[in-house]
Structure 1
Amino acid sequence: MIQKVNLAEAFATFSDHWSPKIAGDINDAQIKLAKFAGKFDWHHHEDEDELFLVVLGTMRMGLRTGDIDVEAGEFIIIPRGVEHRPEGIGGECHVLLLEPKTILNTGNVVTEKTVEQPDRL
Structure 2
Amino acid sequence: MDIVTLTQQFEQLTEYWSPRVVAECNGQLVKVAKVKGEMVAHDHENEDEMFLVVKGRLHLEMADREVVLNPMDVFVVPKGVRHRPHCEEETWIVLFEPRSTAHTGTAQSEHTKTLAEQYGHHAD
Q: What TM bracket, shorter-length normalisation?
A: over 0.9
| Greater than 6 Å deviation, 4+ residue runs | none
Letter in 1 for 2:47: E
Aligned to 1:70: 69
Greater helix share, 1 or 2? 2
Over the residues paired in the alignment, what is the CA RMSD in angstroms?
1.2
1:14 CA displacement: 1.4
The whole-number CA distance in structure 2 between the counterparts of 1:83 and 1:107 is 9
Gaps of 5+ in 2: none
Greater strand share, 1 or 2? 1
Matches within 5 A, 1:5-20: 5-20=4-19
The whole-number CA distance in structure 1 between the counterparts of 2:57 and 2:50 is 15
User: Among residues 89, 92, 95, which one is paired with 1:94 in the alignment?
Assistant: 92
Moved more, 107-116 or 91-100: 107-116
1:22, 1:118 within 8 Å by CA — same for their partners in 2? no
Aligned to 2:48: 49
Gaps of 5+ in 1: none
Moved more, 39-48 or 108-117: 108-117
Matched, 1:108 2:102: no
Letter in 2 for 1:46: E
Q: Secondary structure at the match of 1:37?
A: strand
Matches within 5 A, 1:78-89: 78-89=77-88
Q: Secondary structure at the match of 1:11?
A: helix
Letter in 2 for 1:98: F
Q: Secondary structure at the match of 2:21?
A: strand
Q: Secondary structure at the match of 1:118?
A: helix
Alignment: residue pair count: 119
TM-score (norm 2): 0.91
1:80 CA displacement: 0.3
Aligned to 2:117: 118
Aligned to 1:32: 31
Identity among equivalent pairs (%): 30
Q: Secondary structure at the match of 1:36?
A: strand
